[in-house]
Amino acid sequence: MSGPPTTEVYRIDWVPGTDTLHGLCHCGAERSGQDPVEMWEWMLAHPVGHGAEPR
C-alpha cells in the first residue's frame, strides 16, 4: 500500500530530548543543526551541500 503523492520531499524533525534539528532531504542527504532557518536554507539551496559532506 502506497500513500498519496506528496510534494513534501523534505523532512525536519526535532531530535527527542535535545535542541537539535535533524533534516532529511528527498535525495537522502541529512543534516543536523539547531537553527531551523539555516536548515530550511540548506534544503532550499538544493543541491548545494547535498551529498558532498565529507565524513
Applying CB under 5 A, the residues found at the interface with Zn ion are 25, 27, 29, 46, 50
| Cβ-contact 43, 22 below 8 angstroms | no
Q: Which residue's Cβ lies closest to Zn ion?
A: 25
Tell how strand 11-14 and strand 30-33 pair up: unpaired
Minimum gap (Å) between residue 11 Cβ and Zn ion:
11
Q: Which of 41, 37, 15 is nearest to 50 (CA)?
A: 41
Q: Which is nearer to Zn ion, 7 or 16 (CB)?
A: 7
- Residue 7 beta carbon to Zn ion: minimum distance, rounded to whole angstroms: 14
